[in-house]
Chains A and B, each alone.
Chain A
Amino acid sequence: MSKYILKRIGLALLTLFLIIFMLFVLVRIMPGNPFPSERMSAEQIANKRAEMGLDDPILVQFGRYLVGLAHGDFGKGTSLYYGAPIKTVLGQCIKNSFKIGGIAILMGTAVGLLLGITAALNKGTFIDGFCTVFSILGVCVPGYVFLIFLQYFLSYKVQLFPYFFDTSRFLYSSVLPATSLSLFTMSTVARFTRNEMVEVMDSDYVHLAESKGMYGSTLVLRHILRNALIPIVTVLAPLVVDLLTGALVIEKIYGINGIGKLMVDAIAGEGVDYNYVLALGILYSALYIGIMLAVDILYGVLDPRIRVATHRGEGREG
């Protein structure tokens, strides 16, 4: 098992390195002026470029960038939040996005599981139908539409929640965006849980367990849900990254200082800020790779068959 995990980690690091290299090269060869200035002379711009090392060979620049990265330094923005180190801005945005995303994940997963289990246990009834319709709606209606809907009724018509995100009242103003964000996860989890559970409940071993007199929460939690969880974890993993990295539009609409809004600003501002695009690209990739790694390891924990199969696989390769 530990050899399997080490191999996985090694592969993940290699993938991340390749991604960083490709992103770096792409960002550097893209056309465009990193200093969209209207007042600096050509001389001043040349001096600035030299100062930032933009005239060095690309591999030298990449080496310097990696050394910086190893120290947690992403450099500075060129047209966004000029001068402030990217890590300062990024750290702040990550904190906000992760907090709201975290609430959304917990809410989405918990309510989704509950809905899915309820629907499965009441297969074919009105409750099942209701859960299905809810899931379809949740997947089809984009989170930001739901946010605008909530904003209109709960912040404008009835002034229950703030109309914009207010950092001094973090939790209070997280309610609307976190609820909107969780909708997709909630529906996806509910749908998968219901389908997987219905399938598992119809399998021979569950019938056997039932015939041996097992019932209630023991049967559901230990035998049915555990088996149904594997595909759910698979769909949940990328959703977690999506939620943590913030929904681009939701953060922009609600004025949340998070990674999603930062991405929109870095791309759609007056000039594309390549250093921010690069830093965010690396962050997104690292998160995806990290989560996928966690999922791979989690499979082994959830399903002994995967552990065993891997051992055999390693044996054959060796």
Chain B
Amino acid sequence: MKNLNRRSFLGVAGGTAASLFLAACGGGSSSDGGSEAPAADGGEAAAGGSNLGVMLYTNVMSLDTDLATDGDSFEVIADCIDGLMQMDADGAAVPALAESYDLSDDGTVYTFHLRDAQWSNGTPVTANDFVFAWRRICQNAGEYAYMMDEIGNIKGAAAIVSGEQSDTTTLGVTAQDDKTLVVELEVPVSFFPSLMYFPTFYPINEEFYTGLEDGTYGTSPDTFLSCGAFVLSDYLPGTANLTVTKNPDYWNADAISLPGITYQVVGSSDSALTAFKNGSLDIVMVNGDQVAAVEADADLSQYLKVTGAGYMWYLSFSQTTNNAQGGMLANANLRLAISNAIDRESLVDNYVQDGSLATYTAVPPQFAASATTGEDFSADQTKFADFIGYDVERAQKFFEDAKKELGVDTFEFTMIYGNNEGDEVTKVAQAIKEQVEGALAGITLNLQGMTKAERLDKMQNDNYDVALTRWGPDYADPMTYLGMWITNNSNNYGFWSNAEYDKLIADCVTGAYITDYDARWAALYDAETLVMQEAVIAPLYTKANANLIAAGVEGVDFHPVALNRVYKTATKA
């Protein structure tokens, strides 16, 4: 090999490699370069400030109000589309696209008067946009169609959602003229105006929608119309980052200060924290493990803000004979024993650690306030202290009673939980196992982790003993929780049934109490008492989010219900 001229060869090889690499880069830049400059500089400069950088925990699944089911999707939809009403800082419904509304004396006919507003293609927002959108929700009968019939009680909705009625014009929503929308209800619904800020009730421009290729609505900025504070400027399904930009034609554009919002999906909390520290993101969520570190850090702790996430975690007990050794958990004393053996404060302090609240009521605190007194339905967490609380002695007493009634001394149950539902869930499941087995000799609680979908599947098919599960409020009324425990409700995974309870709830929804707000409120409390007395479920904690909000960012509204974050009053220095 002596003759080989290495130096001359290296020159050739090196040159080839370098030109290959340059060619690769050059090819890329010529196709992308064009779009680079305006997006990064032009957009921001024109608006006079920089976009708010916000972390999303999961991908935005859909911008179609008919298909979206997750909080992140709802948040982005609400950035871009207004409803008849919107949330104020306290979560109360205040006018948005509706300037005002009238309610008939019997409480069943709402007449909304629309203000002058326009879609991002310049066409005016009309009453027909609501009629079209709502009929579509009922006809497609997806996840949130139940807001139309079960919750909103809109006339004719139930028949369309169930498929019995195919004529959607039978829905009790009519456009009296371009600016007047009339909504007829089956019965008075006291919280109906607050439903109007939920994305399911947002408008869609019919002409625009029907002009699109099937299945493409909301899949890009070109196939989506805005009439809200922001317009969609960069989005594709599955994208990890998307941008909305201030809508100059918004009816309340003067009140919007942010030039835009750049959302970034961040898979891990560690990345989120680092991105916050180096200024890439202005609002991030951190997990329980990180909260302690953040609190200990003098510099970071000033940015920490804990907000209610709304979700209440609870234990569901299957009461059918298919499960739990032939239906052992149908015994109220056994359920009460387990519920009283759990140290909820320890769960939130040592395992969840993000500011979540130990919860001792079947309706969690902080989301449903009385319209007449303004008092939080569950402000008093001690009202059921006779039935729930960490009291090993009392738990053992309940357990002794249960053993006598059942004639059995040892119990072996399996508790299922989702291992993809948050970092803390597995730890909480293990803690519950230790606490229950430690307090009640004779109970073995086996753990079985699975995906959330599998957990739901097992619960819906009545194939579980105990489940660690959760429910987030869809609207600001205790009924979003209490409505679940009536006989045969699809969320009544324990199959508990109580005639007195069913009657109380029916009276609140369609019967005696629908026109008397305070009597209804009292009846809901009576219903909750029945749930707590028998430990139909064991409430555990109400989830919070630990956010870090950068200095100079003010006015972002956080809500535990419907829309988690609203940016209409937000400012960024």
- Nearest to B39 among chain A residues (CB) is A168
Bound form: Cα–Cα A93–B14 in Å: 33
Asked if A170 and B28 sit within 8 Å, CB to CB, the answer is yes
Q: For window 1-47 of chain B, which residues contact chain A by CB distance below 8 Å?
A: 1, 3-6, 8-10, 12-14, 16-18, 20-21, 23-25, 28-29, 32-33, 35-36, 39-40
Asked if B266 and A92 sit within 8 Å, CB to CB, the answer is no
A110 contacts the other chain (CB 8 A): yes
- Nearest to B455 among chain A residues (CB) is A36
- Nearest to B53 among chain A residues (CB) is A164
Bound form: Cα–Cα A79–B337 in Å: 38
Interface 9-mer from A53-61, A114-122, A292-300, A302-310: A114-122
Contact with B along A100-140 (1 / 0, CB 8 A): 00110011011101100110011000000000000000000
Bound form: Cα–Cα A261–B9 in Å: 41
Asked if B453 and A32 sit within 8 Å, CB to CB, the answer is yes
**How near does chain A come to B238, taking the closest CB pair, in angstroms?**
5
Asked if A210 and B1 sit within 8 Å, CB to CB, the answer is yes
**Cβ of B312: which chain A residues have Cβ within 8 Å of it?**
none
Interface 9-mer from A8-16, A83-91, A238-246: A83-91
B476 contacts the other chain (CB 8 A): no
**How near does chain A come to B122, taking the closest CB pair, in angstroms?**
26
Asked if A210 and B490 sit within 8 Å, CB to CB, the answer is no
Asked if A103 and B143 sit within 8 Å, CB to CB, the answer is no
Q: For window 224-253 of chain A, which residues contact chain B by CB distance below 8 Å?
A: 252-253
A221 contacts the other chain (CB 8 A): yes
Interface 9-mer from B84-92, B269-277, B518-526, B557-565: B269-277
**Cβ of B58: which chain A residues have Cβ within 8 Å of it?**
269
Residue in B35, B218, B267, B277 whose CB lies within 8 Å of A253: B267
**How near does chain B come to A262, taking the closest CB pair, in angstroms?**
6
Q: For window 207-253 of chain B, which residues contact chain A by CB distance below 8 Å?
A: 215-216, 218-219, 234, 236-241, 243
Asked if B453 and A36 sit within 8 Å, CB to CB, the answer is yes
- Nearest to A170 among chain B residues (CB) is B32
**How near does chain B come to A75, taking the closest CB pair, in angstroms?**
10
Interface 9-mer from B59-67, B319-327, B344-352, B359-367: B59-67
A165 contacts the other chain (CB 8 A): yes
A149 contacts the other chain (CB 8 A): no
Bound form: Cα–Cα A139–B90 in Å: 55
Asked if A164 and B40 sit within 8 Å, CB to CB, the answer is no
B369 contacts the other chain (CB 8 A): no
The listed residue with most A CB atoms (<10 A of its CB), out of B6, B13, B215, B277, is B13
**Cβ of A93: which chain B residues have Cβ within 8 Å of it?**
238
Bound form: Cα–Cα A31–B461 in Å: 13
Q: For window 149-182 of chain A, which residues contact chain B by CB distance below 8 Å?
A: 151-152, 155-156, 159, 162-172, 174
Asked if A47 and B163 sit within 8 Å, CB to CB, the answer is yes
Asked if A164 and B280 sit within 8 Å, CB to CB, the answer is yes
Asked if A268 and B420 sit within 8 Å, CB to CB, the answer is yes
**How near does chain A come to B311, taking the closest CB pair, in angstroms?**
12
**Cβ of A84: which chain B residues have Cβ within 8 Å of it?**
62, 215-216, 218-219, 237
Asked if A41 and B490 sit within 8 Å, CB to CB, the answer is yes
**How near does chain B come to A200, taking the closest CB pair, in angstroms?**
11
A318 contacts the other chain (CB 8 A): no
**Cβ of B266: which chain A residues have Cβ within 8 Å of it?**
164, 255
Residue in A156, A210, A257 whose CB lies within 8 Å of B277: A156
A2 contacts the other chain (CB 8 A): no
Q: Indicate the size class of the contact surface on chain A.
A: 35 or more
Bound form: Cα–Cα A185–B69 in Å: 41
**Cβ of B511: which chain A residues have Cβ within 8 Å of it?**
none
**How near does chain A come to B292, taking the closest CB pair, in angstroms?**
22
- A33-B457, A83-B215, A164-B240 as given contacts; A270 in contact with B420, CB under 8 Å: yes
Bound form: Cα–Cα A17–B429 in Å: 45
B302 contacts the other chain (CB 8 A): no
Interface 9-mer from A20-28, A64-72, A211-219: A211-219
Asked if B3 and A39 sit within 8 Å, CB to CB, the answer is no
**Cβ of B278: which chain A residues have Cβ within 8 Å of it?**
155-156, 159, 163
**Cβ of B10: which chain A residues have Cβ within 8 Å of it?**
117-118, 121
A220 contacts the other chain (CB 8 A): yes
Bound form: Cα–Cα A272–B5 in Å: 59
- Nearest to A255 among chain B residues (CB) is B240
Residue in A99, A151, A174, A252 whose CB lies within 8 Å of B267: A252
- Nearest to B23 among chain A residues (CB) is A106
Asked if A253 and B271 sit within 8 Å, CB to CB, the answer is yes
A256 contacts the other chain (CB 8 A): yes
> For the complex, would chain A's binding face be called helix, strand, loop or mixed by DSSP majority?
helix
B101 contacts the other chain (CB 8 A): no
**Cβ of A252: which chain B residues have Cβ within 8 Å of it?**
267
Asked if A40 and B277 sit within 8 Å, CB to CB, the answer is no
- Nearest to A211 among chain B residues (CB) is B3
**How near does chain B come to A56, taking the closest CB pair, in angstroms?**
19
Bound form: Cα–Cα A32–B451 in Å: 11
B430 contacts the other chain (CB 8 A): no
**Cβ of A109: which chain B residues have Cβ within 8 Å of it?**
20
- Nearest to A270 among chain B residues (CB) is B452
Asked if B265 and A255 sit within 8 Å, CB to CB, the answer is yes
Asked if A271 and B451 sit within 8 Å, CB to CB, the answer is yes
**Cβ of A118: which chain B residues have Cβ within 8 Å of it?**
10, 13
- Nearest to A100 among chain B residues (CB) is B28
Asked if B17 and A114 sit within 8 Å, CB to CB, the answer is yes
- Nearest to B490 among chain A residues (CB) is A41
- Nearest to A90 among chain B residues (CB) is B238
**Cβ of B23: which chain A residues have Cβ within 8 Å of it?**
106
B49 contacts the other chain (CB 8 A): no
**How near does chain A come to B334, taking the closest CB pair, in angstroms?**
26
Asked if B9 and A217 sit within 8 Å, CB to CB, the answer is yes
Asked if B271 and A121 sit within 8 Å, CB to CB, the answer is no
The listed residue with most A CB atoms (<10 A of its CB), out of B6, B68, B145, is B6
Bound form: Cα–Cα A40–B143 in Å: 5
Residue in A39, A47, A217 whose CB lies within 8 Å of B146: A39
Bound form: Cα–Cα A165–B219 in Å: 20
Asked if A81 and B237 sit within 8 Å, CB to CB, the answer is yes
Residue in A43, A114, A121 whose CB lies within 8 Å of B6: A121
- Nearest to B149 among chain A residues (CB) is A41
- A80-B61, A84-B62 as given contacts; A111 in contact with B17, CB under 8 Å: yes
**How near does chain A come to B180, taking the closest CB pair, in angstroms?**
31
Asked if A220 and B9 sit within 8 Å, CB to CB, the answer is yes
Residue in B9, B234, B457 whose CB lies within 8 Å of A168: B234
Bound form: Cα–Cα A44–B148 in Å: 14
- Nearest to A214 among chain B residues (CB) is B3
A38 contacts the other chain (CB 8 A): yes
B491 contacts the other chain (CB 8 A): yes
B206 contacts the other chain (CB 8 A): no
The 8 A-B residue pairs whose C-beta atoms are closest, nearest first, are A271-B453, A168-B39, A255-B240, A110-B17, A36-B453, A106-B24, A82-B67, A83-B67
Q: Please name 19 pairs of A and B residues whose Cβ atoms are closer than 8 Å in the assembled complex, sorted by A.
A: A39-B144, A81-B62, A82-B67, A84-B216, A106-B20, A107-B21, A110-B20, A121-B4, A151-B274, A163-B271, A170-B32, A170-B36, A210-B1, A217-B13, A257-B241, A265-B59, A269-B420, A270-B453, A271-B452
Having A32-B454, A216-B4, one finds 5 other A-B pairs with CB under 8 Å, namely A36-B452, A44-B142, A92-B236, A103-B24, A118-B10
